[in-house]
Amino acid sequence: MSALPNIVDLDTQLATQSPQEIIRYALESFDNIAISFSGAEDVVLIDMAAKIGKRFQVFSLDTGRLHAETYQFIETIRKHYSIDIDVVMPEASKVEQLVKAKGLFSFYEDDHKECCGIRKIAPLRKQLLKVDAWITGQRRDQSPGTRADVPVIQDDKAFARPNESLTKFNPLANWTSKQVWDYIRENNVPYNALHDQGFVSIGCEPCTRPTGPGQHEREGRWWWEEATKKECGLHAVNIAK
């Protein structure tokens, strides 16, 4: 049995590295690699990659429901770094079917997953078929519980092309929100104007709200849904035998 020791070893090795070192490793290892930019504080990935000076692609998932500020911010970043940003949109017919069947705010009555599936995950999957590796701004501290195990590098089995592999890098996995913001301030990185209005986490307009002092950023997203535990995780429990 010899599958994936490299990824596991690499994760162990890269876990002690800085986000900049992880991004450098990613860009040097893959020519066909893209940064997923949500229009929020993951802008630091673009800033770090730009300073490394190697070629990289950037895409943003435009769900059609983003804040005006986010669209403006994506444009600001495109110009600031002189980069192309693939703004990826959902399939219009799928959105139309959803809206016709369930209205424009079905996520408040069901949950956000069906809408996210059509507006975000389907376009993401289509986009990831084009690359060999991708970089996200996912951090462990974003969703205590579900993200406790976000690795720095992983074999992305969900979005890989058939019979091929896709490598996913999460260079900010070990950083806290404070470290990200320290970087933004110290490096004068442009940021989304919504952050000055109390938004910590930024997603679609109907599904995002500002959070107050002491609130976790997860409380600013899908607040009407009960946080659900993912029961299919494989973690041995300590049971006295």
Q: Which two tokens stand for residue 24?
A: 């450098």
**Residue 121 beta carbon to another protein: minimum distance, rounded to whole angstroms:** 5
Nearest 5 degrees, angle CA 53-CA 42-CA 7?
A: 75
Whose Cβ is closer to another protein: residue 3's or residue 92's?
Answer: 3
Give me 170's structure tokens: 């999460």
CB under 8 A, 24+ apart: contacts of 176-184: 176/139, 176/141, 177/41, 177/139, 177/141, 177/217, 180/41, 180/44, 180/139, 181/41, 183/44, 183/47, 184/41, 184/43, 184/44
Q: Residue 188 or 236: which CB sits closer to another protein?
A: 236
Q: Using DSSP, state whether 204 is helix, strand or coil.
A: strand
Residue 19 engages another protein in binding (rule: CB under 8 A): no
Query: According to the binding rule CB under 8 A, does residue 239 interact with another protein?
Result: yes
Residue 120 interacts with another protein (CB under 8 A)?
yes
Q: How far apart are CA 212 and CA 218, in angstroms?
A: 12
Stretch of residues binding another protein (CB under 8 A), selected from 17-25, 26-34, 100-108, 141-149: 141-149
Closest approach of another protein to the CB of residue 49, in Å: 17
149-178 positions binding another protein, by CB under 8 A: 149-150, 155, 157-159, 162-163
* Position among 83, 88, 99, 122 found at the interface with another protein (CB under 8 A): 122
Structure tokens at 196: 């000055």
Q: Which is nearer to another protein, 18 or 165 (CB)?
A: 165
Number of C-beta neighbours around residue 201 at 10 A: 23
The minimum distance between CB 53 and another protein, in angstroms, equals 26
Q: How many CA within 13 A on the CB side of residue 179? A: 15
88 binds another protein (CB under 8 A): no
Pick out residues in 206-225 that bind another protein (CB under 8 A). Answer: 221-222
Question: For residue 116, what are the contacts with CB-CB under 8 A and spacing of at least 6?
Answer: 63, 107
Q: Which two tokens stand for residue 235?
A: 């973690």
CB closer to another protein, 103 vs 233: 233
Catalytic residue among 115, 116, 207, 232: 232
- Please indicate whether residue 232 is annotated as part of the active site: yes
Asked if residue 64 binds another protein (CB under 8 A), the reply is: no
Block residue for tokens 């307009």: 205
Q: Which two tokens stand for residue 103?
A: 């209205």
What residue ranges bind another protein (CB under 8 A)?
1-4, 7-8, 36, 38, 61, 113-114, 116-118, 120-122, 124-125, 136-138, 142-143, 146-147, 149-150, 155, 157-159, 162-163, 201, 203, 221-222, 230-237, 239
Residues assigned a catalytic role? 232
